[in-house]
Amino acid sequence: MLIASRSKLLFIGDSITDCGRKRPVAEGLFDPLGNGYVAQVNALLNASYPDRPVRVVNTGCSGNTVRDLKARWQTDVLDLKPDWLSIMIGTNDVWRQFDMPLFPEVAVTPEEYEQTLDALAGTTKPLLKGLVLMTPFYLEPQPTDAMRARMDQYGRIVMAVAKKHGAIAVDTQAAFDRALKHQHSSNLSWDRVHPNSIGHMILARAFLDAVGFVWSPVRREKA
């Protein structure tokens, strides 16, 4: 696995990352990481690799766009000095274009999204041992759906920014699309945006696969 023992791994994003995590910084005792994929990643890492503990931190905030991440970047990322950083943002940047069409100022255009994410990645990557960029997603199987098409556009931006900066890219939409071939989106999310526990496990698995997590103990011992 790429994440070394005793690394600090910080996740930042919107409500999908937040998931009821503790404030101001979610880490430590009494399940502070919320009830989403961040907590699942933490459990899987530290249960499967007891000899290589990882310190997991969650600074996700519900409702955030990439604009909000930029505003709190110093306190919620840089000041915490993570070794590894995972960013998943974009859902609200897109969603506000559809659920609040009369308030364009609250949405984030593709141009602003790309410029901001690119700047955050570019300035932070040299300070890290590893950077992971996770695409936003929409649990709609039809790529012609208007919001799904726009979310895919933002996902392509994430993939391009990751490639530019040598970051690890996680295509979460592709991970969900594999599940959507066999089950309805309502089995994964009530609103096609916020995953249930199954959906969060899809996110956790996608992240862990990207960082080289070995699921079989036998295979890991031989690696």
Active site residues: 15, 191, 194
| Pairwise CA distance, residues 124 & 194, whole Å | 28
As a three-state string, the secondary structure of 139-183 is CCCCCCCHHHHHHHHHHHHHHHHHHHHCCEEECHHHHHHHHHCCC
State the burial class of residue 23 (Cβ atoms within 10 Å of its Cβ: 0-12, 13-18, 19+).
Answer: exposed
| Pairwise CA distance, residues 17 & 175, whole Å | 17
Q: How far is CA 144 from the centre of its chain?
A: 24
Do the beta carbons of residue 134 and residue 87 sit within 8 Å? Answer: yes
Do the beta carbons of residue 134 and residue 207 sit within 8 Å? Answer: yes
Structure tokens, 38: 């961040």
